[in-house]
A and B are shown apart, each in its own frame.
Chain A
Amino acid sequence: MQYSEVVMDHFKRPRNVGTIENPDGTGEVGNPICGDMMTITIKVKDDRIDDIKFNTFGCGAAIAVSSMVTEMAKGKTLEEAMNITKESVAQNLGGLPKNKLHCSNLGADALHKAITDYYERKEGKVRKTREAEKVEHIGEREGKCYCPYCDTGLPEPAPLCTHCGKPTLQHSDFTIVKGAKKE
């Protein structure tokens, strides 16, 4: 198995699974098309994270990351929790395989989003719906496509991480005789 013992432990016995009823903040990141999706809900008391729970759709690493990030954030002040990074999550897990590092990204992002959501609610801001959020799944770096969650660069027209989910064929240099029946 490619995972560390800590990862396997958090995968097999994930901590803080679930959703908090009437949370003070919610952070949702990822996309099932990409293979991972994570929702973190928090309860805040005296500027500290009093309770935190997660729901995750994803691989073993994504589940372990969710569990670890909630463990790390629990009881911390909001400022301390904002300083939890993908690096510290991965480090606490005893490392992640290179192609799974993006999962730790997702965990920290979901946590930070939940905290931001808490502040925004406090300020009385109207909550943005997920649909209204800017889609930043496909990025370009040095002329190459990449997904911010799947840090490995993708050969152009990325087949996986497009928000719209339209599959580009794997071999774009081939001629297509007839479109496969989709949708």
Chain B
Amino acid sequence: MKVIYLDHISGNPLHPKVREAIIDYIQKDGFGNPVSQHSIGDAAMEILEDARAKVAQLINADPQEIVFTSCGTEANNHAIKGVAFAKAKKGKHIITSNIEHQSIARPLRMLSQMGYNVTSVSVDKYGMVNPADVEQAIREDTILISIMHANNEIGTIEPIAEIGRIAKARKVIFHTDAVVSCGNVPIDVNEMGVDLMSIAANQFYGPPGIGALYISEKTKILPLIDGGVQENNRRAGTPNMMGVVGMGKAAELARVEMPQRTEHLLKLKKAVMDHLGTIDKIVVNGHPEKSLPGLVSFSVEYIEGESMMMMLDEEGVSISTRSACASGSLRTSHVLIATGIDHATAQGTLVFSYGIDITVDDIDKAFEALRKSVAFLRNMSPLYKKG
């Protein structure tokens, strides 16, 4: 049975050309350390810098402003802790939102236990941050604002450029977690006015285990991982060269293919929305327009997400759920709760995330399976009969 993979937000499949590039690298070189001063080291350095330039080009940055990391989570940790420690003398106040990924929320929680003050601005029912709330939260001792570009659970795209203008005017460092958006929607770090931005390759058909942090030239930040002089003293350690090669290729492809990809994703999104319109008692989460083209989050009332996910898995459709029962912690998603959705409805939340490898036919098949599981589970639900 062919598996229909609709969980791209957990990681995109490798683009065939990315796979080729990685294999080619392993066959031709595959071991040189870019720090070495001999010819083999020089060759590796050339490969590293070529990939860096391609990543920089994707977001309109200078190559020297790109630091390779092990993943998006490391980039987020680096941005938060690196700025907090570098700026501790100036102040200890940080502004964020209440829908950030755990790799932002948890480091901030740690910092708040270390004496930093964190202000978390709330979002509206679409999961949208109001830039005026951010401005209002800025204090004399504010050193950092970190607001995600797009949300990984509901897809809402935040008004980053507006917040960027506020941050610039108030001279506060601005970081955005663009892990799920970079490579999928056009990004220009200058237009967005960000000082720091986190990226992950597996969100744009590159390999997992490689990411990058954009650090604008003027931004003062301490390294998260200390040691040698790699990455211009900003991230020590021998780089993951296979990952770097894959990420460079993926960035190049994303930049070139973005218009066609977006067109395809929007076609799929329309198919998803059309199907959803035919199922009774469905709540679509996130902003209706300002959202990622490759993701739709929705809640099916009266039933629970994990059981739907399991039934779809049996039918060969891989999806993700935000039900508390399916999370290790048995907690309802903080993102959904932040949008004001009630706990019971949140339990029935599914995330369909798709990509360039998915066809409208795949979506139709997935919904055939979903319809079956919804009917089966609602028939079993004590809530549906009461409703």
Is residue A58 contacting chain B, with contact meaning CB distance below 8 A? yes
Contact B119 A160 (CB under 8 A): no
Q: How far is the CB of A16 from chain B (nearest CB, A)?
A: 11
The answer to whether residues A160 and B379 also contact, given A177-B136, A178-B121 and a CB cut-off of 8 A, is no
The contact size tier of chain A is 35 or more
Which of A69-77, A81-89, A164-172 is found at the contact surface with chain B? A164-172
**Beta-carbon contact of B122 and A59 below 8 Å:** no
Q: Pick from A28, A99, A178: contact of B122, CB below 8 A.
A: A178
Of B124, B380, B381, which one neighbours A181 at CB under 8 angstroms?
B124
CB of B338, distance to nearest CB on chain A (Å): 6
Q: Which of B215-233 contact A (CB under 8 A)?
A: none
CA distance A174 to B324 in the complex (A): 22
Chain A residues with CB under 8 Å of B332's CB are 159-160, 167
In the complex, what's the smallest C-beta–C-beta distance from B323 to chain A, in angstroms?
A: 7
Complex: A161 Cα to B195 Cα, angstroms: 41
What residues of B have a CB within 8 angstroms of the CB of A35 in the complex? 304, 323-325, 330, 347
CB distance from B166 to the nearest CB of A (A): 14
Partner of B343, one of A12, A167, A171: A167
- Which chain A residues in 1-48 approach chain B with CB under 8 Å? 1, 11-12, 14, 17, 19, 28, 32-33, 35-39
* A82, B340: Cα distance in complex, Å: 41
CB pair B383–A160 under 8 Å, yes or no, is: no
Q: Of B109, B323, B329, B339, which contacts A180 at CB under 8 A?
A: B339
Please tell me the number of chain B residues within 8 Å of chain A, measured between CB atoms.
Answer: 52
In the bound assembly, the distance between CA atoms of A64 and B339 in angstroms comes to 32
Judge if A182 is at the interface, Cβ distance under 8 Å.
yes
A129, CB-defined interface residue at 8 Å: no
Flag if B380 contacts A179 (CB, 8 Å): no
Taken together as a complex, chains A and B put the C-alpha atoms of A112 and B239 apart, in Å, by: 60
A173 to B118: give the CA distance in the assembly, Å: 8
Query: Could you say which residues of chain B place their CB within 8 Å of the CB of A152?
Result: 329-330
Does A142 sit at the interface, judged by CB under 8 A?
no
Q: Report if B53 contacts A (CB, 8 A).
A: no
Q: How many A-B residue pairs have CB under 8 A?
A: 138
Does B382 lie within 8 Å of A37, measured CB to CB? yes
Assess whether A180 is in contact with B124, with CB atoms less than 8 Å apart. Answer: yes
Q: Are B330 and A180 in contact (CB under 8 A)?
A: no
Min CB gap A17→B, angstroms: 5
**Among candidates A169, A173, A179, residue contacting B112 with C-beta atoms closer than 8 Å:** A173
The answer on a CB contact under 8 Å between A181 and B340 is yes
- A131-181 interface with B by 8 A CB criterion: 150, 152, 159-160, 165, 167, 169-171, 173-181
- Whether the pair B381, A56 counts as a contact (CB closer than 8 A) is yes
Query: Are A59 and B326 interface neighbours, CB within 8 A?
Result: yes
Whether B125 sits at the interface, judged by CB under 8 Å, is yes
Bound complex: CA of A60 vs CA of B329, how far in Å?
16
Residues of A within 8 A of B383 (CB): 32, 37, 57
Minimal Cβ-Cβ distance residue in A for B329:
A152
Which residues of the partner chain B approach A169 to less than 8 Å between Cβ atoms? 98, 120, 334
Closest 4 pairs (CB-CB, A-B): A32-B344, A59-B325, A55-B382, A59-B306
Given contacts A17-B380, A173-B113, 19 further A-B contacts (CB under 8 A): A12-B311, A35-B304, A36-B304, A38-B382, A55-B382, A56-B380, A99-B328, A152-B330, A167-B337, A169-B334, A171-B118, A173-B112, A174-B119, A175-B120, A177-B121, A178-B122, A179-B122, A180-B122, A183-B340
7 contacts between A and B (CB under 8 A): A35-B324, A57-B304, A60-B306, A165-B342, A174-B108, A174-B118, A180-B339
